[in-house]
Amino acid sequence: MIYDHRTYCCRPGTIKKHLALYAEFGFPAQRRILGEPVIYAQVETGDVNSFVHIWAYEDAADRAARRAQMAADPEWQAYLKKSAEAGYLVSQTNKILMPVPLEA
């Protein structure tokens, strides 16, 4: 299992608008292809203009296949266009996380 951890920062005062846009136009397509996120959360302290989401994949090949499917999806492409036109996002940071096998 691998986890794709993504942090997005919005322009101050626009995070609610961005999340509403995503909820209406992005999440349905993304969820249809990627499944349910492990977490989708808004930052409460620190950079309050940020939100984080984490998606689980079987492995790198599974992630690549599902991300390619999403990139080719017309509904997802329409959302990306709307998001770019809105201009709410400032930055994005992605991290691939690997579970650590700890033994008790």
**pLDDT per residue over 6-47, tens digit each?**
999 999 999 999 999 999 999 999 999 999 999 999 999 988
Is the residue at 27 inside a domain? Answer: yes
**What is the chain's percent helix, strand, coil content, to nearest 5?**
45, 30, 30
Range of 31's domain? 2-93
Going from the C-alpha of 35 to that of each of 4, 54, 101, the distances in angstroms are: 13, 11, 25
Is the residue at 56 inside a domain? Answer: yes
Q: Please state the length of the chain.
A: 104
Is the residue at 61 inside a domain? Answer: yes
Q: For residue range 66-103, list pLDDT tens digits in order.
A: 999 999 999 999 999 999 999 999 999 999 999 998 87
Asked if 20 and 85 count as a contact pair (C-beta separation under 8 A), the reply is no
Is the residue at 8 inside a domain? Answer: yes
Is the residue at 100 inside a domain? Answer: no
d(CA 15, CA 49): 6
Record the pTM. Answer: 0.88
The tally of domains found in the chain comes to 1
Is the residue at 71 inside a domain? Answer: yes
Is the residue at 6 inside a domain? Answer: yes
Report the CATH number at residue 40.
3.30.70.100
d(CA 70, CA 79): 11
Is the residue at 103 inside a domain? Answer: no
Q: Which amino acid is at 87?
A: G
